[in-house]
Structure formats: C-alpha cells, structure tokens
A and B are shown apart, each in its own frame.
Chain A
C-alpha cells in the first residue's frame, strides 16, 4: 500500500529566501507525481506534474524533481513571496492503484 509523507509539516521563512519542500513515498512503482497548493478554505491548485520517466519539471519560480528509485520528490521555490503562503501537497499515482495518494502537506508561511 502506497504511503506518502511530507517534511517539514510547517515552515516559516522571511520573504526572498529559497526553500525546499520534501515528499517521500514508499512504493516506487508510480506513473506520476503531482504537486498542489491549497489556500485556506479553498480547493487545490495544480502546480506541477512529473511523469515517472522525468527527472524534473519547472514552472516560473517553481522546480520539482523526482527520484523514483529512492521514493523522493522535492519542490524548490525560488525567491519566496508572501503570496506563496499556503499548504503544499504532493500526490502519487501508483501503478498498483487506481487513485492518487496524497501526503499530509507542508504549511508554508512567507513573512514580509
């Protein structure tokens, strides 16, 4: 059974810092991994999707990497801004299952 964890659970940084969020999964047989952000009281916004054959994906100040063999993905946020404050979730689509399995999220606060 796929299990997904995220470290840290919460992170507070001053504006302008570069930061890394971590996602780990137990079953490396995956189709893809997706990163989302969730603002309080809102739904999820898709940030990046990495297919199992890819090593990384970039979108603006965001870069996500995937090391499937070690069961890890990182989300790198460059030059953080207060508007980046949200909860960041990763989700894994396993080959053995039909659904995505979500991690518990990392709550990010970027202080002005």
Chain B
C-alpha cells in the first residue's frame, strides 16, 4: 500500500514569508509525528498527534510554528515569518498507534534565503 507522503519535496522561500508543509499519513494510522533535521544534526521532535488532537507540542521551537490535523488524516505544519535558521528537512512519520512502529515520509527540504 501507499506509504507516508509529504509535499512539497523542496521549498525555497524568502525570509519573512509563511510556508505550509503537508503530510499524508498511511491510511488508518492514528498517530502522526513531525520532526526536523538540520544539516548534520540529529532528528528534533516537533509535535505529536493522536487522532486530531496534539497531546505533545513540546518540541515546537517558537510560536511561529503551528500544526494541525484534520479528519484524523492529513496534517499541515505552518511556519510563519520564516527565518534562515528554519532551513532544514522536515520529516513526518505515522504509526498505527503511539506504541507501534513509525513509518517515515521522504521529507520536505526547506531553504530560507
């Protein structure tokens, strides 16, 4: 079956612009995670959804970052007033439940000029 998909695969934007990143999880997966991977760095947890609710937003680096999930499926990560330090690969993962195996999408590479 189809895996986790993310769009766009690449996004180049100017400092100060807003961007939206999309994640389509595997059908039926209730848990959804967003991570960030900066160049040469490990994975940084951003936010976790169980269904449509986000019990853990602890990883969001600032109030410029927000995320939502509708219908227990697609999720959108929004970064407002982008800064150069936001440049990274943003990865999404989904899982049948919060205690199950995670499956990752290919990521969105964000470059802020």
Q: A89 contacts B43, CB within 8 Å? A: yes
A98 touches B56 (CB 8 A): yes
Interface set of B (CB-CB < 8 Å, partner A) = 33, 35, 42-43, 45, 48, 55-56, 58-59, 91, 93, 98-107
**Is A98 in contact with B42, judged by CB distance below 8 angstroms?**
no
Chain A residue, CB-CB nearest to B107:
A43
Measured between alpha carbons, how far is A102 from B100 in the docked complex, in Å? Answer: 15
Least Cβ–Cβ distance between A24 and chain B, in angstroms: 14
**A residues within 8 Å of B by Cβ?**
31-32, 34, 36, 42-46, 49, 89, 91, 93, 97-105
Closest to B103 in A: A46
Q: List 20 A-B contacts (CB under 8 A).
A: A34-B102, A36-B104, A43-B104, A43-B105, A43-B106, A43-B107, A44-B91, A45-B104, A91-B43, A91-B102, A97-B56, A98-B55, A98-B98, A99-B45, A99-B48, A99-B59, A101-B45, A102-B45, A104-B42, A105-B42
Closest to A103 in B: B42
Distance in angstroms between the alpha carbons of A89 and B103 in the assembled complex:
14
Residue of A nearest to B56 (CB): A98
CA distance A49 to B99 in the complex (A): 10
Q: B48: shortest Cβ distance to chain A, in Å?
A: 5
Provide the bound-state CA to CA distance between A89 and B102, in Å.
13
Residues of B within 8 A of A42 (CB): 106-107
Q: Which residues of the partner chain A approach B43 to less than 8 Å between Cβ atoms?
A: 89, 91, 102
Closest CB in chain B relative to A49 CB, distance in Å = 4
**Complex contacts, B100 vs chain A, CB 8 Å:** 49
Q: Which residues of B contact A104 (CB under 8 A)?
A: 42
Residues of B within 8 A of A36 (CB): 104
- Most B CB contacts (10 A, CB to CB) among A49, A91, A93, A99 go to A99
**Whole-angstrom distance from the CB of B97 to the nearest CB of chain A?**
11
Is there an interface contact between B99 and A32, defined as CB atoms closer than 8 Å? yes
Contacts of A98 in B (CB 8 A): 48, 55-56, 98
